[in-house]
Chains A and B, each alone.
Chain A
Amino acid sequence: MDYADYLIQQGINAISLGSLYALVAVGLSIVFGILRLTNFAHGDMMMVGAFSTLLSSLAGVPFLWGIGIGVVAGAAGGMIMERVAYRPVRGAPDVTLLLTSLAVTYILENLGILVFGSSPKNFPLPDWLDTSWEFRDGALTFTSINVLTVALTVVSLLFLGWFVTRTTTGLGMRAAAEDMGAAHLVGLNVNRLIVAAFALASAYAGLAGVLWAAQAGVVQPLMGFTPLLKAFVAAIIGGFGSIGGALFGGYLLGTLEVAIVAFLPDEISPYRDPIVFALLIVFLLFRPGGILQPNREEKL
């Protein structure tokens, strides 16, 4: 196998991983943009999505429909979370919001453990997805899940782009993120926009959860924790609150992680996660507005 094949293979891995980070980060940014809320429970909507797909598979629902159910379940979970946990503390100081979101995470994860148990469950894939293609005598491999991940990410992000530039609700969400008071004044129903933002963000988390579980082959209640932290790093790198920034940060982080493992000496690659989180600290200290908007100061 030659080096070009190796590079291409790593590129495939990077895009696949970056897609997952982008899907999670985009939701974090949507909610942060409109409410200035860092929603740590966002990762738990991955669990909601993945378990909903798993349960529907076990009930005999075809897998593609199961993905849809996971997405819808994520969206519904987000709406309930907004109504029950975040609406009562709307407008409270940042610390209150932060503590609320930590409490919601804690409750959801323990609820997950209570219902599903803490041990990983097998995440069954249909045969047509449990395949991989090999090219150039096995030098290049990509799995159907890689393809599905990238395809669904691209389609769902195209949808997002359409939604926030062409629909009144999407434009309203961007307007409210920029100036909540002015959004009220033009007659937008800001409550509805916030619910829509949670639904949209959590739908993306649900999708990411299903795809993450499909790649890992297992699901467990705490599955959202690591991706959430990674997506948080991605969102910060791209500029927190900006949808484009979250996508950019997601793919950049995916590429970086794959590169650390692929190209750095074997003694260093186990330190991938510490390197990534060190990067987060560097950004928070020196470039809190992200790469794209270095001058913007944003409070977390």
Chain B
Amino acid sequence: MATLEAAPETHDAAAAPPLLAITDLTVSYGPVRALKGVSLHVEQGEVVALLGANGAGKSTTLRAISGLVRPRAGDIRLRGSSIMRLPPAKIVRNGVAHCPEGRRVFASLTVAENLRLGAASREDASGVDEDREKLLSLFPILRTRRNQTAGTLSGGEQQQLALARALMARPSLLLLDEPSLGVAPLLVRDIFRTLGQLKRQGVTMLLVEQNLSLALDIADRAYVLRTGEVRLSGVAEDLRDGERVAEAYLGSR
């Protein structure tokens, strides 16, 4: 059940630790406190949405998981062991791929080169070839644009490339930051259809998304952040009733 207070983060101690567990995470950018003790978890095979207004701290949470920002306090555990002090490259090797806000594809490299770098953390050359073929079938437009530089792609095509590049790492946890941002509505639906497909294949995702209904459609559970704190959490279906989400968003309590 969703409660207006965030449900306490508890786990059955006897059960296996969740794939991702964040406890009391605090992150500051200089004097700006972006996260003030955020706790959340993602189970194996789950899609969890991270919602919230602009500046709530959603991207910061993902950046902390990937090791791009150094948290002040708290802990980030992957399958029970802390990854919080690891450098970003090690975190990718531990199975976390991050598809960042604004796509961030390498514009001067070709589509094929971007995909190749997506697998930079992997040693298994034959597995990489196999995954590339799979992803080119999943995103056929990338196959046609293969030898084009990424900078010449449309926004939607770049988003597909960013997603494919992240998947080239064969992650056990995929962090997605606003995959609908700057993408034409028709393509947004395509991208979410693909995300649904990935979910059915068992890919675990932590999804940041401004489009509430799209996010809650695909997610199993959701957290709502406001000014660096979790204000609401629960099963996605329970959150569809928009009123409480809106309250948690805007804080009109």
Indicate, yes or no, whether A interacts with B. Answer: yes
Which of chain A's residues has its CB closest to B121's CB?
A187
Whether the pair A168, B92 counts as a contact (CB closer than 8 A) is no
Q: How far is the CA of A175 from the CA of B89 in the complex (A)?
A: 14
Whether the pair A185, B117 counts as a contact (CB closer than 8 A) is no
> B103-111, B187-195, B232-240: which one contacts chain A?
B103-111
Q: How far is the CA of A95 from the CA of B207 in the complex (A)?
A: 39
B88 at the interface (CB under 8 A from A): yes
Take A171-B116, A171-B117, A175-B117 as given contacts and tell me if A188 and B106 are in contact as well, using a CB distance cutoff of 8 Å. Answer: no
Within 8 Å by CB of A181, from B87, B104, B117, B118, lies B104
Take A186-B121, A186-B165, A188-B120 as given contacts and tell me if A175 and B68 are in contact as well, using a CB distance cutoff of 8 Å. Answer: no
Take A181-B68, A182-B104 as given contacts and tell me if A190 and B117 are in contact as well, using a CB distance cutoff of 8 Å. Answer: no
A172 at the interface (CB under 8 A from B): yes
Within 8 Å by CB of A186, from B67, B68, B92, B107, lies B92
A90 at the interface (CB under 8 A from B): no
Q: How far is the CB of B160 from chain A (nearest CB, A)?
A: 16
Q: Which residues of A contact B118 (CB under 8 A)?
A: 186
Whether the pair B109, A187 counts as a contact (CB closer than 8 A) is no
Within 8 Å by CB of A187, from B93, B104, B106, lies B93
B47 at the interface (CB under 8 A from A): no
> Which residues B157-174 have CB closer than 8 A to chain A?
165-166, 169
Q: How far is the CA of A178 from the CA of B107 in the complex (A)?
A: 8
Q: How far is the CA of A165 from the CA of B149 in the complex (A)?
A: 12
Take A168-B117, A181-B68, A187-B89 as given contacts and tell me if A174 and B98 are in contact as well, using a CB distance cutoff of 8 Å. Answer: no
Q: How far is the CA of A161 from the CA of B21 in the complex (A)?
A: 45
Looking at chain B, what size class is its interface with the partner chain?
Answer: 20 to 34
B131 at the interface (CB under 8 A from A): no
Take A181-B68, A181-B100, A182-B100 as given contacts and tell me if A188 and B117 are in contact as well, using a CB distance cutoff of 8 Å. Answer: yes
> Which residues B46-104 have CB closer than 8 A to chain A?
66-68, 87-89, 92-93, 97-98, 100, 104
Within 8 Å by CB of A185, from B88, B93, B107, lies B88
Q: How far is the CA of A186 from the CA of B116 in the complex (A)?
A: 10
Q: Which residues of A contact B106 (CB under 8 A)?
A: 174-175, 178-179, 182
Binary interface encoding of chain A residues 176-203 relative to chain B, with 1 for a CB under 8 A from any of its CBs, else 0: 0011011111111110000000000000
Take A171-B109, A175-B109, A190-B89 as given contacts and tell me if A185 and B116 are in contact as well, using a CB distance cutoff of 8 Å. Answer: no
Q: Which residues of A contact B92 (CB under 8 A)?
A: 185-187
Q: Which residues of A contact B165 (CB under 8 A)?
A: 186
Q: Which residues of A contact B93 (CB under 8 A)?
A: 187
Q: Which of B104, B108, B120 has the most CB of A within 10 A?
A: B120
Whether the pair A171, B113 counts as a contact (CB closer than 8 A) is yes
Q: How far is the CB of A181 from chain B (nearest CB, A)?
A: 6
Whether the pair B116, A168 counts as a contact (CB closer than 8 A) is yes
Whether the pair B117, A172 counts as a contact (CB closer than 8 A) is yes
Take A179-B104, A186-B117, A187-B120 as given contacts and tell me if A174 and B109 are in contact as well, using a CB distance cutoff of 8 Å. Answer: yes
Which B residues are within 8 Å of any A CB, using their own CB? 66-68, 87-89, 92-93, 97-98, 100, 104-109, 113, 116-118, 120-121, 165-166, 169
| A/B interface sample: 7 pairs, CB < 8 A | A171-B113, A181-B100, A182-B106, A185-B66, A185-B97, A189-B87, A189-B89
The 10 closest A-B pairs by CB, nearest first: A187-B92, A187-B121, A184-B88, A182-B104, A175-B106, A189-B89, A185-B98, A188-B120, A187-B120, A187-B89
Which A residues are within 8 Å of any B CB, using their own CB? 165, 168, 171-172, 174-175, 178-179, 181-190
* Known A172-B120, A174-B106, A186-B166; further 11 A-B contacts with Cβ < 8 A: A171-B109, A174-B109, A178-B108, A179-B104, A179-B106, A184-B66, A185-B66, A186-B92, A186-B118, A187-B89, A187-B97
